[in-house]
A and B are shown apart, each in its own frame.
Chain A
Amino acid sequence: MEYAIALVVLAAVVLVIVVRPLLGSAGEADRTAELRAELEAAKEAKYREIRDAELDFRTGKLSQEDFRRTDRELRTQAIEILRRLDELD
């Protein structure tokens, strides 16, 4: 009996928590916020890659030529991310 009561109570609590999001719908604002968060994360990752490449160059792990090429590629990608972020504003 104790098992049945506990089962029903716990299941009801879980049900309320998990079903609630299904009763509403994700608005356009939510989707924009998610996309912005994704682009912000990509931007941070790209900035980190730019810093890493510079440190690698200065500690001798990238040649001048490779650094220039890598740096240019990374900055182009960063610019693209910034452009997409601007489009969201």
Chain B
Amino acid sequence: MAAVGSAALSVALLTALYAVGAGVRAGVSRSRPAATSARRAIYCLAALMVLALVILEAAYLRTDLSFALVAQNSSIQTPTFYKVTAMWSSQAGSLMLWVLLLSLFSSAVLYSTRASLREVTPYATAVLGAVAAFFLSLMVLSPEAQPFATLVNPPIDGQGLNPLLRHPAMMFHPPMLYTGYVGFTIPFAFAIGALITRRTGAEWIRATRRFALIAWTFLGFGILLGALWSYSELGWGGYWAWDPVENASLMPWLTGTAFLHSIMIQERRGMLKVWNVSLIVATFVLALLGTFLVRSGILNSIHAFGESTLGAPFLGFIAFVLIGSVALVLSRRESLRSKASFDSLASREAIFLLNNLVLVSLCVVIFYGTFFPLISSALTGAEASVGPPWFNAFVAPLAIVLVLLAGIGPVIAWRRATPANLRRSFRIPAVAMAVTFVVLVMLTPAASSPTSLIVFSFIAFTIVVALQEVWRGVGARRVMAKESWPVALSGLISHNRHRYGGYVVHVGIATLMLGVAGSSAFVGQRDARLSPGESISVDGYTVTYREPTAELLADRSGTGAPVTLGAVLDVNRAGRTFTLHPSRNYYPSGDPAAGAIGRFFDGEATSEVDLRWGLARDLWTAVQPDLQALRPSIDEADRRFVDASAPIQAAILREIVESYRSEPPPATFRVIVSPLAAWIWLGGAIVMAGALIALWPAAGARRRLSSVEAARLGRELSRA
């Protein structure tokens, strides 16, 4: 079946190239048959990629080790759950996922625009085909990125999935990120089509806004899952390390956020056309850059997949997209000129622009910090890097401003805010902000961190603004439609999903910032080396190392680790007690030089964190068992039982593991008390809920004006 998979990818490449040619021809000659043909080519591309995916996934599920990819990233013992996800841990597999998602997104948007945007769509089809062709050419032409490469002599067993990736969040994190990256290709392609045809009105935005929102939602969810994975798997206790690959996913999300806001100005006022096409070009380029960073190995990251030869073509493609897009925007500056202008700095338009500038500034800061090692290397010859304190110093003030703008933006008037509008809109939120400030200063230790105090107050402002908006919207609807409160609320949201979904997203972001600010400013952490019976205290918690745990083939986290060493911790806080069980999984080394017993301890190891979640604070614990005490026994077993049968080696391994429990050495513990951290995940869930509300199709896809509005419009029509 590998040959069929290879053939599917080869035909997919030809099909994508055909879509480019047919799309351009359709655009130039305005030929509808050619446009339909190009669209059908994209549908075929999607079908071919689904076929390729099914073949590869089937190989993973049956552990067909004649597939090189399966032998590299899976094994007979790999749990089924992780066999399914192993595909995107590899370079070739993740490239295939990219094209699959792109072909599905492209098919969806071309189907939805099959009877509209007649001039723009053919060129957009060509752009989508070109992007797919680039990724397919990597898979078809580059030996190291071929998903269907086969082995002449398959191994008895595969190397297995990287243990760090054996976490439920990893099942969804890469596809979510890729869905985000890929999704932004759609508005980018239509923006290019609009520029080529000089149809730079809001039509291309309306046709692709849903896709931009889907991309933004998935990218955000992917980032959040990555943070959750880092918090609960990586064993250092944090959720964001300003790692290059983390930053690479955040940058397009920031510019995508700016884009989703600024297109409202173009739709409403016909302004910011240059800005909007520039933002979507930047977002797409940053999405490519995110994929490039993971694949190139150019920057040191725990997420990068090592150096590969794909860096050069990626960089070439990014440069082509960037230079071509900028040239196109410059050549169309006349048709991008706005008819309207800003009436006042105190207006919705101005606040949205300020919000955009802050988001783009955040992106620039993160870009500079991420690529500083390369910049310093190019300028001085020595590679230097900046750490979390540098990022925090620049990002925190901008993020605080952003929280405030998230409160001001939704309520300030269009065109020009009058003093009456400002009073009406901001009086209650300002009072809530002041009350929050005073209460926090008087009743909590928040005053010890002025930055957090400001953030908490702004969060209160933003949340009250959103609640006030819903309240006023319901009131207005009751007047307009003569409905009861519950009916008016339901009708308000269902008929204005985009607007009120957006408000829910703002509340979610504010809630998330509450968690970030609280867990950053008031975190308590201690590292200690303890023997059984010893205790440490952290921020009111007393943690006692009761006893060690040692298990063979009994990994409770379901990752398939053969050896698990851990601890039982008794925790006491103000008389309330509970127990935690942090542990560490050990995976066999693939190194042939490792001993028969030692190889079970010398491979990858992962922290299995145990934490007690709480709305007020999390208690996070991790353990690092000291293997030095076992080393003499391991070395001796390696010498004496090198040729022993498998059952005897298993029995010896069991004895050594058991000795960790019977004669426990001291172990190193990390205990973290993280206030309000749970609000990060809760805020993320609220953001997702808001995005879902905004994305949900309107009740009745073809809504009509109310009878009152229709009658008014009709009267004007008769007079016109």
State the A residues within 8 Å of B (CB).
Answer: 2-4, 6-7, 10-11, 13-14, 17-22, 24-26, 30-31, 33-34, 37-38, 40-42, 44-45, 47, 49-52, 54-56, 58-63, 66, 70, 75-76, 78-79, 82
CA distance A65 to B407 in the complex (A): 25
How distant is A63 from chain B, measured CB to nearest CB, in Å? 6
B116 touching A44, Cβ below 8 Å: no
16 contacts between A and B (CB under 8 A): A6-B8, A7-B11, A14-B44, A14-B48, A17-B44, A18-B15, A20-B37, A50-B713, A59-B469, A61-B411, A61-B412, A61-B421, A62-B415, A63-B421, A66-B416, A76-B720
Interface stretch of the complex, out of B87-95, B244-252, B534-542, B703-711 = B703-711
Going nearest first, the 5 A-B pairs with the smallest beta carbon separation are: A6-B7, A58-B476, A37-B115, A26-B32, A21-B36
User: Chain B 419-432, CB within 8 Å of chain A: the 1/0 string?
Assistant: 00100110000000
**Known A22-B33, A63-B421; contact A38-B22, beta-carbon cutoff 8 A:** no
Q: Does B319 contact A (CB under 8 A)?
A: no
For B425, give the chain A residue with the smallest CB separation. A60
For B424, give the chain A residue with the smallest CB separation. A60
B480 touching A58, Cβ below 8 Å: yes
The residue from B6, B41, B472, B496 contacting A14, defined by CB atoms under 8 A apart: B41
For B710, give the chain A residue with the smallest CB separation. A47
A37 touching B15, Cβ below 8 Å: no
How distant is A22 from chain B, measured CB to nearest CB, in Å? 5
**Known A2-B4, A34-B118, A41-B116; contact A58-B479, beta-carbon cutoff 8 A:** yes
Residues in chain B near residue A14, CB distance under 8 A: 11, 14-15, 41, 44, 48
Residues in chain A near residue B118, CB distance under 8 A: 34, 38
How distant is B207 from chain A, measured CB to nearest CB, in Å? 8
State the B residues within 8 Å of A (CB).
Answer: 3-4, 6-8, 10-11, 14-15, 18, 22, 32-34, 36-38, 40-41, 43-44, 48, 115-118, 202-203, 206, 267-268, 348, 411-416, 418, 421, 424-425, 469, 472-473, 476, 479-480, 495-496, 499, 702-705, 709, 712-713, 716-717, 720
B32 touching A31, Cβ below 8 Å: yes
How distant is A76 from chain B, measured CB to nearest CB, in Å? 8
How distant is A24 from chain B, measured CB to nearest CB, in Å? 7
The residue from A6, A21, A61 contacting B37, defined by CB atoms under 8 A apart: A21
For A56, give the chain B residue with the smallest CB separation. B414
B421 touching A60, Cβ below 8 Å: yes
**Known A17-B44, A30-B32, A82-B717; contact A59-B115, beta-carbon cutoff 8 A:** no
For B8, give the chain A residue with the smallest CB separation. A10
Residues in chain A near residue B38, CB distance under 8 A: 18
CA distance A32 to B41 in the complex (A): 24
CA distance A49 to B416 in the complex (A): 19
B6 touching A18, Cβ below 8 Å: no
How distant is A89 from chain B, measured CB to nearest CB, in Å? 15
Residues in chain A near residue B412, CB distance under 8 A: 61
How distant is A43 from chain B, measured CB to nearest CB, in Å? 10
**Known A21-B37, A55-B473; contact A49-B268, beta-carbon cutoff 8 A:** yes
CA distance A13 to B7 in the complex (A): 13
How distant is B65 from chain A, measured CB to nearest CB, in Å? 19
- Further contacts, 11 of them, CB under 8 A, given A52-B496, A61-B348: A17-B43, A21-B33, A21-B37, A47-B704, A49-B267, A49-B268, A55-B476, A58-B476, A59-B469, A60-B411, A79-B720
Residues in chain B near residue A19, CB distance under 8 A: 37
A22 touching B34, Cβ below 8 Å: yes
CA distance A56 to B349 in the complex (A): 14
How distant is A42 from chain B, measured CB to nearest CB, in Å? 8
How distant is B402 from chain A, measured CB to nearest CB, in Å? 21
CA distance A44 to B412 in the complex (A): 26
For A67, give the chain B residue with the smallest CB separation. B414
A33 touching B115, Cβ below 8 Å: yes
Residues in chain A near residue B416, CB distance under 8 A: 63, 66
The residue from A11, A34, A49, A79 contacting B713, defined by CB atoms under 8 A apart: A79
For B468, give the chain A residue with the smallest CB separation. A59
Residues in chain A near residue B4, CB distance under 8 A: 2-3, 6
A6 touching B32, Cβ below 8 Å: no
Residues in chain B near residue A11, CB distance under 8 A: 11, 14
A51 touching B709, Cβ below 8 Å: yes
For A36, give the chain B residue with the smallest CB separation. B115
CA distance A79 to B115 in the complex (A): 22
Residues in chain A near residue B413, CB distance under 8 A: 60-63, 66
A54 touching B115, Cβ below 8 Å: no
CA distance A44 to B43 in the complex (A): 28
Residues in chain A near residue B267, CB distance under 8 A: 49
Residues in chain A near residue B18, CB distance under 8 A: 18
**Known A38-B118, A41-B116; contact A59-B473, beta-carbon cutoff 8 A:** yes
Residues in chain B near residue A33, CB distance under 8 A: 115
Residues in chain B near residue A76, CB distance under 8 A: 716, 720
Residues in chain A near residue B37, CB distance under 8 A: 18-22
CA distance A60 to B473 in the complex (A): 10
CA distance A31 to B281 in the complex (A): 32
